[in-house]
Structure 1
Amino acid sequence: MLDIAQCHILHRRSNECMDSYVLSESSMFISDARIILKTCGRTRLLHAMDTLLNLAHRYSHMDSVINVFYSRKNFMRPEIQPHPHNSFEGEIDFLDNYFQDRWFLYTISAPQAPLPYADHTLEIMMSEMPHDVMSVFTRAKSGIDRVVPFGTIIHEELFDPCGYSMNGLLPQTDQYVTIHVTPEPDFSYASFETNQNSMCLYKQTLRVIDIFKIQTRSQVKMQNFGLERIDEVDFHAVQHETLVYAQYVKRKGTGTKNVPLKRAITDDDGNSD
């Protein structure tokens, strides 16, 4: 499957509930009923869909897909990406061969009762990092230990000549943390994603911002209806889930304070607020 996506496994860690894989091009997490596959670069993620569904059927006897979420940040150079990844419209058309039609955040949900437990995912996508921050990305130097819950099982990869990937598993749960850094001067980029619930997400976000000292960030939180929603910037409800999206830019001369740059949620008719 990963050969088709054009990436491979560098190393693996496991706990009682989940397997974690640091890949040559990002990360993969597998639990009993869920797979999370994140790739970067010029990988062919969607081309692995057919093999993924066949593997789930062959080895786990799973024939019904309950939820699919597909999202990505806009590409800096879409013209060098392989089809269908050179446009979001092309990716939607590709996914529609397998699932129902959706737009903006591609999501399908099978008609069923909501999940019986609370679930959420926080994702922070960051760019324009200072050079001194980009140069220290190993766990010991960057302070990444401070943004993960105590006891997190960490495995990481420092790439040559640049780049950093880290996966973390929380013991005895299917909760994870993953961080990826591309510290190249012309297009520095970092991402942080977690579904942990053992520490405050607000405080965790502030620690991420402090460590990366970012100029611009986009932030997404997905949660199901087992969690109470507090006031956020913008939100959009999909079946059994709520999507919260915001983009921020650092205000000049204000340290770590941030102000909204853009807030965009697309509804089912394709309209943006």
Structure 2
Amino acid sequence: MFFEGSEKKVEVIIKNASFSLIDNVTDEFWVELVKRANAKILSCIQNKYCKAFILSESSLFVWHDRFVILTCGVTHLVNSVEYFIQEQGIECIEYLTYQRKNEYYSHAQLSCFGDDIKVLNKYIKGNALRFGEMDSHHTFLFYKQGEHRVQNKSYELLAYHISEQASEKFINPNITVQEIRRFLQLDKLLPDFLIDDHIFDPYGYSVNAIKDDKYLTIHVTPQAESSYVSVESNINLIKLSPLILKVLKPKSFDLLSFNEVEFKALIKQYINRQYVSKSLVEQQLKNGCNVHFANYVLPQHNFITATVFDLLEDHNEL
């Protein structure tokens, strides 16, 4: 059974300091915004700084001055951005980024990155870039033109082809959230965080965690032929990468950071030497942000057999 784990991501920061996306916007608004992407809200946790929603496809985080939404599967996230603009007004947006990772089966999506930015360009003057090689792992990024006041840091660690042990752990039909938390060592990753998590049927796992204004989210697509785990946070994931990689043992992974000026020194210090870098990209955006992208692979030294298809079955690859 195939599921597209690669996510689309939007971050929006608003201008009006007297207007709160938590206090002045109803949950019904966020329900509708998520619905526009072909997803739904499953649960919510919150503190005085942040609301964190687990979605049927990934997560939504809302702070007083910003929100971040990630959606996977066959979702149409640009529709959610358009809904926010139409309801709240383009003039309220100080900062906007829209990202799309390379997908396993991009032809099955409802749109491509080019289609999405045509929609955004109706409302927003922006710039578009690609981080990474087109024939390998890469991320597309669209961002709103103009300087912004907040240089917030964020990090993404995106793991592909996790170990057989990890994959089998997640596809066990009897596994509990407590067992997954122990396997992922969330107590070490997220000490004193408020945690909300969900096991999907038949496969998949999501966790949101918040502490004050800090957040971390993990989404696991465990199926062996298309396994994918995303970890996204405003906590330094490069420093946490040794633990994450030890648990998942992926064959390849990507790192993406916004405004981490020590990126080069950090990857040298923390990334396991078994992994070899395939892409290293640094870009200073015209809105003032500094973005780094790195793709790593674990070199394979042994031959494996080819993938055999049952021609009577439906395969996304064929």
Same fold flag (TM > 0.5): yes
For 1:1-273, what aligned pairs fall within 5 Å after superposition? Answer: 1-57=33-89, 63-82=91-110, 85=111, 87-104=112-129, 105-112=141-148, 114-115=149-150, 119-137=152-170, 138=177, 139-146=180-187, 148-170=189-211, 173-196=212-235, 201-223=237-259, 231=265, 233-238=280-285, 239-252=287-300
TM-score, with length taken from structure 1: 0.79
Instruction: State the Cα deviation string for residues 40-62 of structure 1 (Å, max 9, x = none).
Output: 111111112232124435xxxx8
| Contact kept in structure 1, 2:263 and 2:292, CA below 8 Å | no
Deviation (angstroms), 1:185: 1.8
Deviation (angstroms), 1:130: 1.8
The one-letter amino acid paired with 1:22 is I
Deviation (angstroms), 1:214: 0.5
TM-score, with length taken from structure 2: 0.69
| Contact kept in structure 1, 2:251 and 2:297, CA below 8 Å | yes
Quick one: distance in 1 between partners of 2:281 and 2:102? 19
Which runs of no fewer than 5 residues in structure 2 stay unpaired? Answer: 1-32, 130-140, 171-176, 268-279, 302-318
| Contact kept in structure 1, 2:198 and 2:205, CA below 8 Å | yes
| Contact kept in structure 2, 1:92 and 1:102, CA below 8 Å | no
- After superposition, the Cα gap between the structure-2 partners of 1:135 and 1:55, relative to the gap in structure 1 and judged at 3 Å, is farther
Which runs of no fewer than 5 residues in structure 1 stay unpaired? Answer: 254-273
The one-letter amino acid paired with 1:164 is Y
- After superposition, the Cα gap between the structure-2 partners of 1:103 and 1:147, relative to the gap in structure 1 and judged at 3 Å, is farther
| Contact kept in structure 2, 1:120 and 1:221, CA below 8 Å | yes
- After superposition, the Cα gap between the structure-2 partners of 1:99 and 1:91, relative to the gap in structure 1 and judged at 3 Å, is same
Instruction: State the Cα deviation string for residues 127-167 of structure 1 (Å, max 9, x = none).
Output: 11122102324433423415523111110000111000000
Quick one: distance in 1 between partners of 2:79 and 2:241? 33
- After superposition, the Cα gap between the structure-2 partners of 1:89 and 1:50, relative to the gap in structure 1 and judged at 3 Å, is closer
| Contact kept in structure 2, 1:142 and 1:211, CA below 8 Å | yes
Aligned-residue CA RMSD (Å) = 2.1
Quick one: distance in 1 between partners of 2:163 and 2:295? 19
Q: Equivalent pairs: percent with the same residue?
A: 24
Question: Aligned residues, how many?
Answer: 236
- After superposition, the Cα gap between the structure-2 partners of 1:183 and 1:167, relative to the gap in structure 1 and judged at 3 Å, is same
SS of the equivalent of 1:36 reads strand
| Contact kept in structure 2, 1:147 and 1:204, CA below 8 Å | no
Instruction: State the Cα deviation string for residues 169-214 of structure 1 (Å, max 9, x = none).
Output: 01xx221000000011221111000102xxx643301111111111
More helix by share: 2
| Contact kept in structure 2, 1:66 and 1:109, CA below 8 Å | no
Quick one: distance in 1 between partners of 2:161 and 2:197? 23
| Structure 1 partner of 2:312 | none
